[in-house]
Structure 1
Amino acid sequence: MIELNQYKTLTFDCYGTLIDWENGILGVLKPLLLVHDTNLDDKEILKIFAEFEAELETGEYLKYREVLNRVVQKFGERFGFEPTTDELNSLADSIQYWLPFPDTVEALRALSQKFKLVIISNIDDDLFAFSAKHLQVEFDQIITAEQAKSYKPSLNNFRLAIQRINLPLEQILHIAASVYHDIVTAKSLGLSTVWVNRRADKNKTGATYPQISQPNLEVLDLKTLAAMSSPNPQ
């Protein structure tokens, strides 16, 4: 168990933690694949997405829009079809419509009363601007992959965030749903971590690679974390 009041800044992953990206991904890829006579279940689509995304993010830096375009292209290559230009753009174009989890906005509002909030996200600046409108809170810092020119789980993204936050590590708490992208690397740099296990009742990996690590705290949602920070947690 951790004492939340020892921290001054909470850093958040965005997609998968605050924004329901899996429903966003499936809302685009499932009908796209069906148009091309490819019928995959949700688990398989997300597994393949995770494979392609991780491969593209570990090579030479590409903007996230281009990463998503190439993810769609790779689906076409694997399943024998040639995506149209609109289809190639469809994942990135859909991000503006991806919505927060039901508990996200209220929890962020509550936490913002006590802590500075920071985003560390594998995203482009312009694409995050769409999501920021849905999140409805003011973030003290926003660190994107476009700014870092690298993608989590790279150490670089977290080092850039730590430099900008300019606080001792023991005053920073990182909160994320992806063990692969976030928890392992944050812990390796000495940050305390909270794993938001949003897939506790589903397949354990979803749209991220499977990975094992021991966070300082595991919660099922952000509502639970916000309640822990209140003077009289329920």
Structure 2
Amino acid sequence: MRLTDFRALTFDCYGTLIDWERGITAALAPLVERAGKPLTRDEVLEAHARHESQQQRYTPEMPYSDLLAVVFRRLAEEWGVHAAASEAAAYGQSVKQWPAFPDSASTLQYLKKYFKLVVLSNVDNESFAHSNAKLQVDFDAVITAEDVGSYKPARRNFDYMLDLLPSLGVRKDEVLHVADSQFHDLQPCSELGLRSCWIYRRFEQRGFGATVRTMGEPAVEFKWTSMAQLVKAHHEELSKG
């Protein structure tokens, strides 16, 4: 199988294109400093993943910025820290400041020349608009949790995307889903028979970071540690003809 076999790339955004772990830890730093015990970066991210996934399951229609405010309050309770409502609300808005990975914008601009590009993201539309400005590319379609009314890994998010693709002139077998998260993306893709590419951003780190731990490793068609490697592989395919 070759990258040039596909006509569309669908992307998870946060963790794949936007460095959400860096954004999360920076925005939570003041809260962590007030915690009753020292917390490692991984402990912070794993606690965040646990509360976030639980809240997404119980309130699937809650906008992501509001959901993050709830996660902030749950973390404060767990760590025994008093947190003002204004702090929780500010954390909910912090997505707008989360940075892109250094290779995201340039690689997306390259891929735009060869593929339809679609985002399937677990955020609200306003938050994504700020992230999109950092990615510097016009996606052919943007699908958020706010649009669908649920959060990945719910199957309906992927069904929504697959139902939309024919309007772009793309079939399911012409799509490659590109993502970092096994829990949110790669496992559902495996279950749906949707081909996928793992951008393994955490290859030099232990654990699952800001995503829920999964059992085993889902099968994927491609695996790289950066978007730049994906682009390099595509360029090599073109050069070989």
Range into which the TM-score falls when normalised by the shorter chain: over 0.9
Contact residue 169 and residue 190 of structure 1 kept, 8 A = no
Whole-angstrom CA distance in 2 between matches of 1:60 and 1:85: 19
- Which structure 1 segments of 5+ residues have no match? none
Whole-angstrom CA distance in 2 between matches of 1:225 and 1:204: 23
Q: Which residue of 2 aligns with 1:232?
A: 239
Moved more, 208-217 or 146-155: 208-217
Whole-angstrom CA distance in 2 between matches of 1:73 and 1:85: 8
Whole-angstrom CA distance in 1 between matches of 2:37 and 2:73: 14
Whole-angstrom CA distance in 1 between matches of 2:103 and 2:79: 37
- Which structure 2 segments of 5+ residues have no match? none
Equivalent residue letter for 2:184:
H
Equivalent residue letter for 2:232:
A
Q: Which residue of 1 aligns with 2:194?
A: 191
The one-character-per-residue Cα deviations of 1:38-74 (angstroms, maximum 9, x if unpaired) are 4311010001001001101111321111210111110
CA RMSD, Structure 1 to Structure 2 (Å): 1.3
Moved more, 85-94 or 159-168: 85-94
Contact residue 100 and residue 135 of structure 1 kept, 8 A = yes
User: What's the TM-score, normalizing by structure 1?
Assistant: 0.95
Q: Which residue of 2 aligns with 1:91?
A: 91
Alignment of 1:83-232 (within 5 A): 83-166=83-166, 167-211=170-214, 212-230=217-235, 231-232=238-239
Secondary structure of 1:58 counterpart: helix
Equivalent residue letter for 2:222:
L
Equivalent residue letter for 2:224:
V
Moved more, 136-145 or 63-72: 63-72
Whole-angstrom CA distance in 2 between matches of 1:191 and 1:173: 7
User: What's the TM-score, normalizing by structure 2?
Assistant: 0.93
Identity of aligned residues (%): 34
Equivalent residue letter for 1:227:
K
Q: Give, in angstroms, the shift of residue 88 of structure 1.
A: 0.4
